[in-house]
Amino acid sequence: MKSQLEARNLELKTEASAVAAKLDGQKVVILRQAGETGQLYGSVSTRDIAGAFTADGFTVDRQQIVLNHPIKTIGLHVLPVTLHPEVEVKVNVVVARSADEAERLARGEEIRRPGDEDEDEVEDVAAEAEEAEEATEA
């Protein structure tokens, strides 16, 4: 009995290792609507991610995807997938508003948000005001 269980476990581990070789480092793109700040109108769950991998020809069950909380922002998210208790791989999930944005995120480009530019300008103005104040004091 025990030898049968060990043989079955070894068989499952071998199958998981074969899938892991193909799946490791794979990228899947999920398009969602989001606000200007990159906050999603909703979220991306394990069901969405598993569905996207299935559409790409991989067999991934949603329980195998390790996601502590739903994804609520656009960007590149690296997630572990446990195919077997002894076999785990990392996959890339790109959440974007459009295919073009997904391509840029996958290449590692940072998506600038409208609020980011304002913060830089505010810091520049504050620094200039501080310099002017120091100059008048001197």
Domains and CATH numbers, the chain: 2-111 (3.10.430.100)
Full-model pTM: 0.72
DSSP state of 38: S
| pLDDT for residue 63 | 94
| pLDDT for residue 50 | 94
| pLDDT for residue 119 | 47
Burial classification of residue 102, based on how many CB atoms lie within 10 Å of its CB (0-12 exposed, 13-18 middle, 19 or more buried): buried
* pLDDT tens digits for range 39-89: 999 999 999 999 999 999 988 899 999 999 999 999 999 999 999 898 999
Task: Give the pLDDT band (50/70/90) at residue 123.
Answer: low
- From first CA to last CA, the distance across the chain in angstroms is 88
Q: Identify the residue whose tokens are 């071998």.
A: 14
- The rounded distance, in Å, linking the Cα atoms of 29 and 98 is 10
| pLDDT for residue 78 | 94
Burial classification of residue 126, based on how many CB atoms lie within 10 Å of its CB (0-12 exposed, 13-18 middle, 19 or more buried): exposed
* pLDDT tens digits for range 21-34: 998 889 999 999 99
Give me the chain's average pLDDT, please.
83
